[in-house]
Chains A and B, each alone.
Chain A
Amino acid sequence: MRRIYLDHSATTPLDPRVLDAMMPYFSDTYGNSMAVHQYGREAEHALETARETLAGLLNCAPGEIVFTSGGTESDNIALRGVAQHARLSGKPVTVITSPVEHEAISATARQLHDLFDAALRVVPVDHFGRVDPADLRAALQNLPAGGVTLVTLIDTNNEVGSRNPIPALAAVAHEFGALFHTDAVQAAGQFSLDVQQLGVDMLSISSHKFYGPKGAGALYVREGVALMTPQTGASHEDHRRAGTHNIPGIVGTARALELARAELPETAHRLSALRDRLVEGVLEQVTDAQLTGHPTDRLPGHASLVFKNVESNLLLMHLDQRGIAASSGSACKVGDPKPSPILEALGYGPEWTRGGLRLTLGHSTTEDDIDAVLSALPDAIAQIRRITAHA
C-alpha cells in the first residue's frame, strides 16, 4: 500500500541538503563553541555563520538571534523572560493572548498568572481565527501604571491555517507601549518573514517545520528588549539561553530556512493549487463539510476541514488504514478526544468540534496524493457516519 504523508504541519522530513550541511558537525567538527582552542573556534565559526545567515533571512542583527531547542522553548523564553524581568523590577505584568494560541503560549501564560500573578487578557478571534486590531486596542485599555505588557499572538494558526495581520497588531501594541511577540512556527519557511516589516519585538521559529532538524529553533529578540532568562547556566547566547550549542541543529536551521526561502514562491504556488483542488474536491463530495480558517489568507499547503457528527479519531484511523497520515485538533492517542478548543473559539457548535481534520501538504505531495485522498476520504466518512449514527 502506498503511504501518503499529509501532516507537514506536525513535522517535515529533513531535507537531504540540510543533512549534508549538518553532517560535518557531528563527528568531525565537534568542538564546544565556548572553548578557547581550535576545536572551539571551528564550532564558534559555524555557530556565528549560521547566526548571520538566519539574521539575514529574518532581516535583523545577528545579536538579535537566540538559538533554542525549538518553538516551545522559544515561546517559553519570550514569555517567561519578559515576565521574570518585570517581576525582578517589581513591575506588574499583563499578558495578552488569543484563544487560538499554541499550548506553548497558552500554558505558559497560565503558569505566569499562577506563579507571578500576571494579569491575563484574551482578545477574541473572528470566525477564521484572526484577531481584529480594534479588538486588541480594546484589550489594551486601562493597563496598570508602570507595568510591563506583553502581547503574544500567533502569526499563522497551526490548526486552521489562518494568518493574523501581524504588522497592524504589533503597531497597536506599540501605541500602548506594550511588547509584541509572535509564534511564527507554522509561518516560517512558508511566508517570507521580515521582522522589520512585521514590526515585532520577538518571534519564535522551529526548524523541523521547514525541513530542518528536530530539537532546533530560534527566537528573535529585538535589541533593547529586557529578558531575564528562565534557563540559567553559563553565558551562551548572551545570557539568554544557557546550554552547550547544538551546532549541527543550528547549522541545519540556517540552511533549512535558506533553502525554504529560496524556493518559497514556487513551493507556495504549487502547494496552494494542490490544496485548493483538495478542498474543493472534498466539499463537493462530502455533505455537512466545511473549510475551517480563512479561504485564501492561509498557509499554502494547509487544508483544514470539519465534518458534522464525525469523530476525528475514527477518521484518522480509517485514513491511516488507507495509508494516509493526517491529524486533527481534537484527536488523541488515548481514546479520550475532546472538542477542539480552537474550533470552539471560532464559533463551531458541538456537532462540529470533534470532527476537525487537518491535511497539510509538503515537498513530497503530488497530484496523485490528492486524488488518493479524494477517493478515500468520502468513503471513510460515510463508513464512520454509518456506524456511529445508530450507536
Chain B
Amino acid sequence: MTERMTSPGRSRVVVAMSGGVDSSVAAALLVERGYDVIGMMLRLWSEDCGEGGSNRCCTPAQMADARRIASQLGIPFYVIDTQDVFRRTIVQFFIDRYAAGETPNPCLECNRHIRFDWLLNHAMALGAEFLATGHYARTERAPDGRVRLMAGRDAGKDQSYVLSVLTQEKLRHALFPVGDFTKPEVRALADRFGLPVAQKHDSQDLCFLADGDYRRFLAQHAPEAVRPGPIRTRDGRELGRHTGLPNYTIGQRKGLGISAPEPLYVLETDAAHNVLIVGTREELGNVGLVAGRMNWVSGEPPAEPFRAEVKIRYKARSAPAAITPLPSDGARVRFDAPQRDITPGQGAVIYDGDEVLGGGIIARVETERD
C-alpha cells in the first residue's frame, strides 16, 4: 500500500476513528471529497486498562479495525495516548458529580474537554484545518459567517445533543460527514466503499466501565459517594433506607424497597444530607429547570426571553418551553407541560427546530412552587 502523499492546497482533516461504521464512513467520504485525511484514535482510560485490558471503546480489536480501514483508504493512522487526561478530567468528573448527587453525562464533557479540545489541538498542531467525527449532526454556515449546529438528518440517530458544548471557535473546525445521511444510508455507503464494518452494532454505554455497570464502578472507585441513608417524602416522613444515592435514578419506581398505599417514585436526591426523596406520580412532573455552564452556540446569549424546544436527556423528546437567559452562563427553562425525570447533571439542550441554539448542564429542578 502506498499512502496518498500530502499535496499543498488540499485542506487537511484529522478524523477521529473508532473502528466503527460511522467514523469509518466519515473518513471514506472525506477521502472521496479530496481532503488530505489523517486517521486518529484516542486511547482512553478504562478501569481494566492494566496488562492486556483496554477500554471497551478502543479495544485492540477496534484499534486493529480502524488501522485496517485507514490502510484501505490509504490514509495515515495514529493512536494518541489520552489515558491520563481522560482519567483526570472525564472519569474524575463523573465520580465527583455523582458524589454531589447528580447524574452526569460524561459524553458531553468528553466532547468539550477531550475530542474538541485535546484532540482538536493535536490535529491543529499537525497542520489540520478540521477535526471530523462520525457524529450524526450537521453544521451550516450562516450568512454572517457564524456556524450553526444542526441535528443529524436521521432523527432517530441525532447526536447534536452531545455536541451542544461546542463553541463557534470549535465548530469552525468541526466536520460531521455522516450527519447528512440516515443510518441505513451510512451502512449502504460502508458497503459501497467496501468497508468491512457494515454489520457492526452501535457502541453504547460508558466507555470506561469494564462491564457497563456504573453502580458497581462507583462503589469500587468512589465508595464515599455510595453511602446508605434515609428515604423520605417531601414533607420529611422517613419510609425506609436507601443503599446509596447513585444507585437510584429520578423517576425510578421499582426497587425502592418501601411499601406505601400508592406507588412512589424517586423525585430527587439531597446529596448534602444523603437523603433520597420520593413522592407520588403527581409530584413527579416538574415544570422547569435552571441550567448552568450554558454554551450559546452563536457565541452570544439572547438578550430577551424566548420560546423554543428543550431536550433534557440524550434520548428524550424535545419539549416546548420558555427560556430566560440568566447572568453567569445560566438559563431558566419553563416547560409548557410538566416534564418527568428532569435530572440534575444531564444536559438541557435548546432547539429551534433542527438548530441547536445552546446547551447547559441542569443545576436544579423547579417545581410549581418555585
Which residues of A approach B to under 8 Å, CB–CB?
Answer: 1, 311, 313-314, 317-318, 320-321, 333-337, 383-384, 386-387, 391
A335→B42 contact, CB < 8 A: yes
Closest beta carbon of chain B to A322's beta carbon, Å: 9
Which residues between 34 and 89 of chain B lie within 8 Å of chain A, taking CB atoms?
38, 41-43, 49, 54, 58, 60, 63, 67, 76, 78-83, 85
Q: B47: shortest Cβ distance to chain A, in Å?
A: 15
How far apart are B357's CB and chain A's nearest CB, in angstroms?
Answer: 30
Other-chain contact of B126, A1, A318, A335 (Cβ < 8 Å):
A318
Tell me whether B281 is interfacial, beta carbon within 8 Å: no
> For B79, what are the chain A residues with a Cβ–Cβ distance below 8 Å?
313, 333-335
Residues of the B chain whose Cβ atoms lie less than 8 Å from the Cβ of A384:
125
A334 touches B6 (CB 8 A): no
A335 lies within 8 A of B58 (CB): yes
State whether A320 touches B122 (Cβ < 8 A).
no
Indicate if B121 sits at the interface (CB-CB under 8 A).
Answer: yes
Asked whether B223 is an interface residue with its Cβ less than 8 Å from the other chain, the reply is no
Contacts A1-B5, A391-B85 given; does A335 touch B80 at CB 8 Å: yes
Nearest CB of A to B94, in Å: 19
A-B pairs, top 10 by smallest CB distance, nearest first, are A335-B43, A335-B79, A383-B125, A317-B78, A335-B81, A387-B121, A1-B6, A391-B85, A387-B125, A321-B126
Residues of A within 8 A of B6 (CB): 1, 321
Q: List 6 A-B contacts (CB under 8 A).
A: A1-B6, A336-B49, A386-B125, A387-B121, A387-B122, A391-B85
Q: Smallest CB-CB separation from A317: which chain B residue?
A: B78
Assembly CA distance A387 to B126 (angstroms): 11
| B43-A320 in contact (CB<8A) | no
Chain B residue total in the interface (Cβ 8 A): 26
Q: Is B217 part of the contact surface with A, judged by Cβ < 8 Å?
A: no
Of the candidates A318, A321, A336, the one whose C-beta lies within 8 Å of that of B43 is A336
| Interface residues in B94-119 (C-beta closer than 8 Å to A) | 118
Chain A nearest CB from B338 CB (Å) reads 43
CB distance from B81 to the nearest CB of A (A): 5
Residues of B within 8 A of A321 (CB): 6, 38, 76, 126-127
**A141, B76: Cα distance in complex, Å:** 53
User: Known interface pairs A1-B6, A321-B127. Does A334 touch B76 (Cβ–Cβ under 8 Å)?
Assistant: no
- A1–B43 alpha-carbon span in the complex (Å): 29
Q: Assess A318 versus B80: contact at CB under 8 Å? Given A1-B5, A334-B63.
A: no
Chain B residue nearest to A391 (CB atoms) is B85
Docked-complex contact A313 and B81, CB < 8 angstroms: yes
The 8 Å CB contact of A318, one of B5, B67, B118, B125, is B125
Q: Shortest distance in angstroms between A362's beta carbon and chain B's nearest beta carbon?
A: 21
Bound complex: CA A92 to CA B221 (Å) = 47
Beyond known contacts A318-B125, A335-B42: 8 more, CB 8 A cutoff: A311-B81, A314-B80, A314-B122, A320-B78, A321-B76, A334-B63, A334-B79, A335-B41
Which residues of A lie under 8 Å from residue B63 when comparing CB positions? Answer: 334-335
Q: How far is the CA of A333 from the CA of B40 in the complex (A)?
A: 11
**SS of B interface (majority):** mixed
A284 CB → nearest B CB, Å: 23
CB distance from B276 to the nearest CB of A (A): 38
Residues of B within 8 A of A314 (CB): 80, 122
CB contact between A336 and one of B5, B78, B81, B121 (< 8 Å): that residue: B81
**Which chain A residue lies CB-closest to B124?**
A387
- Mark each residue of chain B from 133 to 164: 1 if its CB lies under 8 Å from any CB of chain A, else 0: 00000000000000000000000000000000
In the complex, the chain B residue whose C-beta lies closest to that of A354 is B81
A229-B128 Cα distance, complex, nearest whole Å: 54
Q: Is the CB of A313 within 8 A of B80?
A: yes
The CA-CA distance from A320 to B49 in the complex, in Å, is 27
Residue of A nearest to B77 (CB): A333
A1 to B4, CA, bound (A): 10
Chain A nearest CB, measured from B8 CB (Å): 9
**In the complex, which of the residues B43, B58, B83 has the most CB atoms of chain A within 10 Å of its own CB atom?**
B43
CB distance from B271 to the nearest CB of A (A): 30
Q: How far is the CB of A384 from chain B (nearest CB, A)?
A: 7
Cβ < 8 Å to A, chain B residues 1-47:
5-6, 38, 41-43
- CB-CB under 8 A from A383, the residues of chain B are 125
The residue among B6, B76, B78 with the most chain A CB atoms within 10 A of its own CB is B78
Bound together, the chains give a CA A296 to CA B81 distance in angstroms of 34
**Chain B residues closer than 8 Å to A337, beta-carbon distance:** 81
CA distance A333 to B60 in the complex (A): 10
Taken together as a complex, chains A and B put the C-alpha atoms of A47 and B58 apart, in Å, by 48
Q: A384–B78 Cα gap in the complex (Å)?
A: 15
Residues of chain B lying within 8 A (CB to CB) of residue A333: 67, 79
> What separation, in Å, do the CA atoms of A318 and B125 have in the docked complex?
9
Interface centre among B63, B81, B85, B127, by most chain A C-beta atoms within 10 angstroms, is: B81
Q: How far is the CA of A1 from the CA of B79 in the complex (A)?
A: 23
CA distance A377 to B206 in the complex (A): 38
A320 B76 Cβ-Cβ under 8 A? yes
What chain A residues lie within 8 Å of B82 (beta carbons)? Answer: 335
Rounded to whole angstroms, the CA-CA distance of A318 and B124 in the bound complex is 11
* Chain A contacts for B78, CB-based, 8 A: 313, 317, 320
CB distance from B48 to the nearest CB of A (A): 13
B125: A residues at CB distance < 8 A: 318, 383-384, 386-387
* Cα A386 to Cα B122 with chains together (Å): 10
A1–B76 Cα distance when bound, in Å, is: 14
Max chain B Cβ within 10 angstroms of own Cβ: one of A311, A321, A386: A321
Smallest beta-carbon distance A75→chain B, Å: 24
